[in-house]
Amino acid sequence: MKKTTTLFVLLLTVVTAFCQQTMVQQLIPQPASVTEKKGWLTLTVSAKVAYNDASIAGMASQLQERLAANAVKTNIILSKSQPATAKVFLAIVTDNTIKKDGYSLDITATGVVIKANEASGIFYGLQTLYQLFDKSFMQARPKVQDWQLPLVSIKDHPRFQWRGLMLDVSRHFFTKEEVKRFIDDMVKYKFNTLHWHLTDDQGWRIEIKSYPKLTSIGAWNVKKTGRFGTFSDPTADEPRNYGGFYTQEDIKEIVQYAAQRFVTIVPEIDVPGHSLAAVAAYPELSCTPGNYKVNSGEKFMIWPGGGQHFYGTLDNTLCPANEKVYTFLDKVFGEVAALFPSEYIHMGGDETARNFWEKSEQIKQLMQEKGLKNLDEVQSYFVKRVEQIIESKGKKMIGWDEILQGGLPPNAAVMSWQGMKGGIEAAKQGHKVVMTPTDFVYLDYMQGDPIIEAPVYASLRLKKTYQFDPVPDGVDANLILGGQGNLWTEQIYNLRQVQYMIWPRAFAVAEILWSPKGKKDFNGFVKRVEKHFERLDAAETKYSPAIYDPEFKVAKKDSASVVVTLIPEIEGLSFHYSFDNSLPDKYYPAYKEPLLVPKDAQSFRVISYRNGERVGRMIIMPVEELKKRAGVK
């Protein structure tokens, strides 16, 4: 009996230590320094929360309410030093060992202490603390219960200043409450910048009082369902009632909401291209007079490939040779600057179709008057004037890397999206850079095989995103502000799909931008991602399970035969398959080597298992698709 009791105690100790270790090691992003200890702290529903500075009173209140699930609202104490009765103490201090936006978090047997030099550090410390609670803490209304926290000491600070996500609300409009939910989700992982893409060909989303038609006309198009870019042209009788915009009061509310969570919103007004919504409202801003409509997703841009420049079948650009454009932009950026306290305003500058500029007599006259040699210099002339306007409003300008073409304005920052090249070039010229290359952080790209994902331009797996590093070799790291993940919403119609596309790849972006570079380890990261899947489930947040799906690699064996290889993204997966049109499970053949597709097979079906448990989605791959990819006719 004594041996049995001893064995039980030993087993309990091992299980407790394992659970404690699991909770500490599931943090995303990884802290700079973690020291784990043995034991647990119990926080009861009546635990008192103390704080020492009015700037963090709201955080103390939020923590206490979540601990008690609103059951106890009076146990919050303002105190210059830690009261003996308080189980949690949040303290603004002066500590040179804590870096900007950093914090220290200590959980001992007697309580929790979070210290920082500024309120933002306390906020980030709390995000870490929240991740140490059980996953049920993530529910909208956590169950009233005592909470167990592992004993640990953490010292932490971010690697980069700019830790961003971009949300495109032009292609599809998202309500004020949905934007707030997006902000709530991003701050859990210590993102601090929301790049807000507010205008494009499909909608102008911000009220500009000087130009009311921007929203009365420019904010609305025809509702279409299907694949963006392939829609039929809207007919005259189809109602233009799909879309929306944010009033200036909405903007102020969202900006304040974000600021309370230490998120800076960087607004983007995308010019001179991507401006069809503005031109539809005010056609006189175009080089090409005509009757314009806000785009509803029908194709009007042509991408020939083969090194040829893209062009538009209609002119969606503001005219650089038209002085009315600069008057317009002066008023627009003036109102935008008054609404957003951010240091930067984003002016877009990307993907300008210039084929109509080539034919414009106004442009030809401008080139002659200003000595501009080509259309790159025409765009550079426009961008430099925009920078002057933005700076006149007390702001700094940032734009996509196309603003390098023809010469970069003197004080502009560059957001490098076409790979890292533009960012490298800008940094070598001494300009600030935000890295956001398509091949690593375009979160609108498919996460798995196109056969199962909503089709868009390209695929981007989690493993590739985790390989991103914003500082290329040979570049002054002090000029790299940081990076961000971009979510364009052409093929994203609702917030649930936004969540699906963001998570888990935004976990990778968050960790890259916050954690020390030397801590990167994909296999360890995946284990933490899977723990956060459980937390997302508890929070009723959608995410992609694509890490469990295989990558299909096909090769042509002969004129009629295809060989297919299944490549796992993570370790430990077992792929089971069929060619006979039945749905495979774990009792079907397990994939072990490249497969020759049977001559008369119609479909290749694959399901993923791990340790005997199903983890992946049933993927049904038509054999015709495999042949197409392999070049077999």
Beta carbons within 8 Å of 364's beta carbon, 6+ residues apart = none
CB neighbours (10 Å) of residue 3? 7
Residues 6 or more apart in contact with residue 569 via CB below 8 angstroms: 461, 462, 463, 546, 547, 548, 549, 550, 551
The label of the residue with tokens 């990307």 reads 350
Rounded-to-integer distance, Cα 34 and Cα 26, Å? 12
Residue 199 β-bridge partners? 204
Rounded (10°) angle between helices 176-187 and 495-502: 20
Q: How many alpha carbons lie under 13 Å from residue 266 in its C-beta half-sphere?
A: 25
Find tokens 């369902």 and name the residue: 225
Active site residues: 200, 274, 351
Pairing of strands 242-243, 86-92: unpaired
Rounded Cα distance, 422 and 432, in Å: 12
Q: How far apart are CA 308 and CA 323, in angstroms?
A: 31
Cβ–Cβ under 8 Å, residues 549 and 617? yes
Collapsing DSSP states into helix, strand and coil, what is residue 366? helix
Asked whether the beta carbons of 597 and 528 are under 8 A apart, the reply is no
Host H or E run for residue 358: helix 355-359
CA 282/CA 286 separation, integer angstroms: 8
Percent of the chain as helix, strand, coil, to the nearest 5: 35, 25, 45
The residues that bridge with 111 in the sheet, in sequence order, are 108
One-letter identity of residue 281: A
State in Å, rounded, how far the first CA of the chain is from the last one. 74
Which amino acid does the sequence have at 605? R
Q: How far is CA 65 from CA 120, 217, 239, 273, 540, in A?
A: 20, 44, 46, 48, 20
Query: Is-contact 347 390, C-beta < 8 A?
Result: yes
DSSP-assigned beta bridge partners for residue 147: 43
Write out the H or E segment, with its range, that includes residue 64.
Answer: helix 57-68
Q: How many residues are recorded in the chain?
A: 633
Q: For 212-223, what is the HEC assignment? A: CHHHHCCCEECC
